């Protein structure tokens, strides 16, 4: 779909909440897939003619939970997944999706691969990042994941690889034979980790953490003008201009029309538009991006929510893929697709800005995009190893499992009545997709399905930063209020001895390490750590223990990336989690509170033993596996040895 004058109606769903062009639209491609074309023995598919060289398909689904799978399988709800050998796998410490996916890719422990959480502190700074990249002093962008993923190892040995949304792979991994499209960790078009945009004619300031408000100005001919501020480049703040207007066709429903240049899209109230191409410009520079528009209100003035603007795959400011043309090739072949970070618009739902139906539509639309690309790239042939990672299910599964659970403080009776079966429907959707993939596999092919971690039940939240304030170790700047700004922006560093960020990470404000360190290394630091450890170990909540274990960072994170590790990592008892605001560097008002937020980050600070992932395969898998075992398993299938930092074992 080229960017000319183009208008499409908003995405519509069938009676089950799925896009009308969903899985049924790809069923007919199974026949196409079937015709494409040591330890590499088979495991699935229909035999036809001569024996073909064995291939391996790896599918990753964020949030796939072994207990939920067991329940659905017992009720016959997942017939395709139930045909596969299944076993739970232990996950990482910390047990958040991004860390687990990095261990999936490399077979290495977190300190060996460098991704130590969904939120990380960059060394020698107070800067927090939710991206998996950093810009060095030479101005070059580098991946914080330092260990080699198995698709790079396999490609170097001659295996033809094709990776769709490779996790923690930006800048994209370069492979000798094949293609890689970057996935989680890729920045948005504003060079950030994601932010939804609320557009309206009134109000001011960000509507909630994770979002921002942009005012619509009255324009000509009843239209409204909107200026979206972008990233700063060469000392100039880039901006994108769009217009909004209401179209009221005779005999039809009114719709919000969003336009940028010669490209426009339409959405009825409560509906999402298709992708809108926008351009951030300024100072002779241009950054092309794509966003979708949710029409929240049409009268008396338009109100809309824009999805996080992602980099345009046709003309990315930096390559989204290797080779660089691959991202545009996919858009040409299958239509535009999400490139921005996931789990962003979910925060708009938690802020009460997005209806549940719209959140669900956004989720299914993302799943359908990934299905379409995966089926098409599988059918195109020319690969030995195909990997496709679906991160869209995770946030929605976390949200709808919480709001539908009567025991959860986030329970909503109306939402439970309307969407109580959402988790089951998402699994059914993924199961149908797996069935189509299996139909298209050769007899000699093998399938491996991976869920990086399951869903934990979080009832209460613990906020380490609030605890540090009460203990006198963390001070706020004058005028700051508890629960204020994220990113450690309210911390008075000159008076602070310790601070908190991420899923249970505690850091000393260490002299010589932090820019404004106040704690002397050695005896003073050791005594402070011991004091914090002892006090936290005795923390109770109505007679119940809150903290299960406190790990010393130097012990829990041994490896090349130990300089990014917290000084202490707090692992909580079952039922407890780290509050979302505290993970992002804010200082909440309360130390302990009901976990009433529907949205929580992927990480929660809980015991990894309470959040197992899962592997499923067309052949038997070992019952005592780990997420670190996927990489050596894939390499073993091709008769290859893992890299030295890989500590996993073959699941087969």
Instruction: Output the six-digit token pair for 54.
Output: 């064995």
pLDDT at 382: 96
What are 443-452's pLDDT values in tens digits? Answer: 999 999 999 9
State how far the Cα of 43 lies from the Cα of 445, in Å rounded to an integer. 6
What are 387-441's pLDDT values in tens digits? Answer: 999 998 888 888 888 888 888 888 889 989 999 999 999 999 999 999 999 999 9
Higher pLDDT, 349 or 255: 255
Q: Residue 132's pLDDT band (boundaries 50, 70, 90)?
A: confident
Is 553 part of a structural domain of the chain?
yes
Instruction: Output the six-digit token pair for 551.
Output: 């790990």
Sign of CA dihedral 492, 498, 500, 501: positive
CB atoms within 10 A of CB 350: 22
pLDDT at 141: 83
Is 201 part of a structural domain of the chain?
yes
Give the CA distances from residue 361 to residues 176, 197, 272, 417, 652, in Å, rounded to whole numbers and listed in that order: 38, 18, 8, 18, 38
CATH of the domain at 408: 3.40.720.10
pLDDT at 600: 62
Instruction: Output the six-digit token pair for 135.
Output: 């810009």
- The answer on 394 and 272 residing in a single domain is no
pLDDT at 48: 44
State the greatest distance between any 2 C-alpha atoms of the chain, in Å, as a whole number: 78
Those residues whose C-beta lies under 8 Å from the C-beta of residue 78, and which sit 6 or more positions away, are 69, 72, 427, 428, 431
Instruction: Output the six-digit token pair for 616.
Output: 């499923």
* Mean pLDDT for the stretch of residues 585-597: 88
Q: How do 120-121 and 128-129 pair as beta strands?
A: antiparallel
Higher pLDDT, 359 or 483: 359
State how far the Cα of 157 lies from the Cα of 175, in Å rounded to an integer. 10
Evaluate whether 143 touches 105 at the Cβ level (below 8 Å).
no
Is 344 part of a structural domain of the chain?
no
- The answer on 550 and 519 residing in a single domain is yes
CATH of the domain at 545: 3.30.1360
Is 111 part of a structural domain of the chain?
yes
State how far the Cα of 259 lies from the Cα of 265, in Å rounded to an integer. 7
Instruction: Output the six-digit token pair for 52.
Output: 């073909």
Higher pLDDT, 139 or 444: 444
Is 519 part of a structural domain of the chain?
yes
Q: Residue 42's pLDDT band (boundaries 50, 70, 90)?
A: low
State how far the Cα of 368 lies from the Cα of 362, in Å rounded to an integer. 10
pLDDT at 360: 92
- The answer on 432 and 418 residing in a single domain is yes
Percent of the residues in the chain that have a pLDDT greater than 90, as a whole number: 62
Q: How do 460-462 and 446-451 pair as beta strands?
A: unpaired
The C-alpha torsion from 551 through 553 and 558 to 560, rounded to 10°, is 160
- The answer on 465 and 452 residing in a single domain is no
- Above 50 in pLDDT, residue 513? yes
Instruction: Output the six-digit token pair for 370.
Output: 């990934």
Q: Residue 350's pLDDT band (boundaries 50, 70, 90)?
A: confident
pLDDT at 10: 41
Q: Residue 133's pLDDT band (boundaries 50, 70, 90)?
A: confident
pLDDT at 568: 96
Instruction: Output the six-digit token pair for 347.
Output: 């925060």
Higher pLDDT, 449 or 201: 449
What are 394-408's pLDDT values in tens digits? Answer: 888 888 888 888 888
Nearest to 350 by CA among 340, 359, 341, 339: 359
Instruction: Output the six-digit token pair for 83.
Output: 């045909």
pLDDT at 631: 98
Is 472 part of a structural domain of the chain?
yes
Higher pLDDT, 607 or 543: 543
- The answer on 496 and 421 residing in a single domain is no
- Above 60 in pLDDT, residue 612? yes
Instruction: Output the six-digit token pair for 571.
Output: 């692992």
Q: How do 178-182 and 196-200 pair as beta strands?
A: unpaired
pLDDT at 599: 58
- The answer on 478 and 419 residing in a single domain is no
Q: How many domains does the chain have?
A: 3
Is 166 part of a structural domain of the chain?
yes
When mean pLDDT is compared across 16-30, 78-92, 540-554, the lowest value belongs to 16-30
Percent of the residues in the chain that have a pLDDT greater than 70, as a whole number: 88
Count helices and strands (H / E) in the chain: 17, 33
Q: How do 576-578 and 460-462 pair as beta strands?
A: parallel
Domain region containing 73: 64-115+153-186+349-457+608-642
Q: Is 8 exposed, middle or buried (0-12, 13-18, 19+ CB in 10 A)?
A: middle
- The answer on 410 and 485 residing in a single domain is no
Nearest to 188 by CA among 162, 212, 207, 205: 212
Q: What is the mean pLDDT of the chain?
A: 87
pLDDT at 35: 36
- Above 70 in pLDDT, residue 149? yes
What are 634-643's pLDDT values in tens digits? Answer: 999 999 999 9
What are 567-586's pLDDT values in tens digits? Answer: 999 999 988 888 888 888 98
Q: Residue 287's pLDDT band (boundaries 50, 70, 90)?
A: very high
- The answer on 224 and 274 residing in a single domain is yes
Nearest to 294 by CA among 312, 271, 275: 271
**The model's pTM:** 0.90
- Above 70 in pLDDT, residue 488? yes
- The answer on 549 and 466 residing in a single domain is yes
Give the CA distances from residue 419 to residues 16, 166, 405, 422, 459, in Å, rounded to whole numbers and listed in that order: 10, 31, 11, 5, 20
- The answer on 107 and 74 residing in a single domain is yes
What are 519-534's pLDDT values in tens digits? Answer: 999 999 999 999 999 9
- The answer on 178 and 216 residing in a single domain is no
pLDDT at 2: 37
Running DSSP on this structure, what letter comes out for residue 330?
H
- Above 80 in pLDDT, residue 609? no
Is 134 part of a structural domain of the chain?
no
- The answer on 270 and 212 residing in a single domain is yes
Q: What is the crossing angle of helices 393-403 and 356-379, to 10°?
A: 150
- Above 70 in pLDDT, residue 209? no
pLDDT at 641: 96
Q: Residue 273's pLDDT band (boundaries 50, 70, 90)?
A: very high
pLDDT at 207: 58
């Amino acid at each position: 779909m080229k960017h000319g004058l183009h208008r499409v109606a908003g995405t519509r769903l069938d009676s089950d909440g799925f896009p009308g062009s969903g899985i049924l639209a790809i069923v007919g491609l199974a026949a196409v897939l079937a015709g494409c074309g040591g330890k590499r023995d088979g495991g699935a598919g229909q035999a036809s003619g001569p024996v073909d060289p064995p291939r391996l398909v790896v599918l990753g689904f964020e949030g796939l939970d072994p207990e939920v799978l067991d329940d659905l399988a017992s009720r016959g709800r997942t017939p395709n997944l139930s045909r596969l050998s299944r076993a739970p796998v232990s996950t990482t410490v910390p047990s958040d999706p991004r860390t687990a996916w990095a261990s999936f890719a490399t077979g290495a422990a977190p300190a060996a691969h460098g991704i130590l959480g969904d939120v990380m502190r960059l060394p020698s700074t107070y800067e927090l990042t939710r991206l998996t990249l950093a810009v060095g002093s030479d101005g070059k962008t580098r991946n914080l994941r330092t260990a080699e993923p198995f698709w790079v190892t396999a490609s170097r040995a001659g295996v033809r690889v094709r990776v769709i949304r490779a996790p923690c792979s930006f800048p994209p991994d370069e492979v000798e034979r094949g293609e890689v499209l970057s996935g989680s960790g890729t920045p948005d078009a504003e060079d950030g980790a994601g932010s939804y945009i609320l557009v309206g004619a009134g109000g001011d300031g960000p509507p909630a953490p994770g979002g921002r408000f942009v005012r619509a100005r009255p324009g000509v001919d009843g239209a409204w003008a909107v200026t979206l501020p972008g990233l700063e480049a060469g000392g100039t703040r880039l901006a994108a201009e769009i217009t909004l207007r209401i179209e009221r066709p005779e005999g039809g429903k009114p719709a919000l029309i969003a336009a940028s240049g010669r490209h426009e899209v339409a959405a009825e109230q409560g509906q999402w538009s298709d992708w809108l191409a926008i351009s951030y410009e300024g100072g002779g520079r241009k950054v092309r991006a794509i966003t979708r528009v949710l029409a929240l209100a049409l009268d008396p003035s338009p109100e809309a929510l824009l999805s996080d603007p992602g980099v345009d795959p046709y003309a990315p400011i930096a390559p989204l893929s290797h080779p660089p043309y691959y991202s545009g090739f996919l858009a040409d072949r299958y239509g535009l697709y999400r490139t921005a970070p996931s789990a962003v618009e979910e925060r708009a739902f938690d802020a009460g800005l997005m209806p549940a139906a719209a959140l669900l539509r956004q989720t299914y639309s993302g799943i359908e995009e990934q299905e379409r690309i995966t089926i098409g790239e599988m059918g195109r042939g020319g690969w030995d190893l195909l990997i496709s990672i679906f991160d869209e299910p995770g946030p929605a599964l976390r949200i709808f499992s919480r709001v539908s659970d009567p025991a959860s403080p986030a329970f909503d009776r109306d939402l439970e009545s309307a969407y109580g079966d959402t988790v089951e429907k998402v699994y059914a959707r993924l199961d149908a997709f797996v069935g189509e993939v299996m139909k298209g596999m050769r007899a000699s092919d093998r399938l491996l399905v991976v869920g990086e971690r399951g869903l934990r039940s979080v009832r209460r939240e613990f906020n380490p930063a609030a605890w540090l304030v009460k203990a006198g170790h963390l001070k706020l700047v004058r005028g700051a209020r508890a629960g204020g700004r994220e990113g450690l922006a309210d911390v008075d560093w000159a008076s602070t001895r310790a601070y908190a960020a991420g899923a249970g990470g505690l850091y000393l404000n260490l002299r010589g390490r932090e820019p404004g360190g106040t704690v002397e290394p050695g005896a003073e630091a050791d005594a402070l750590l011991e004091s914090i450890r002892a006090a936290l170990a005795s923390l109770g909540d109505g007679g119940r223990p809150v903290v299960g274990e406190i790990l010393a960072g130097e012990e829990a994170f041994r490896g090349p990336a130990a300089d990014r590790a917290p000084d202490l990592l707090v692992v909580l008892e079952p039922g407890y989690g780290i509050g979302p605001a505290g993970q992002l560097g804010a200082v909440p008002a309360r130390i302990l509170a009901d976990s009433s937020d529907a949205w929580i980050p992927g990480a929660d600070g809980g015991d990894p033993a309470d959040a197992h992932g899962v592997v499923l395969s067309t052949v038997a898998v070992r019952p005592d596996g780990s997420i670190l075992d996927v990489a050596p398993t894939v390499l073993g299938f091709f008769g290859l040895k893992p890299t030295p930092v890989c500590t996993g074992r073959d699941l087969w």
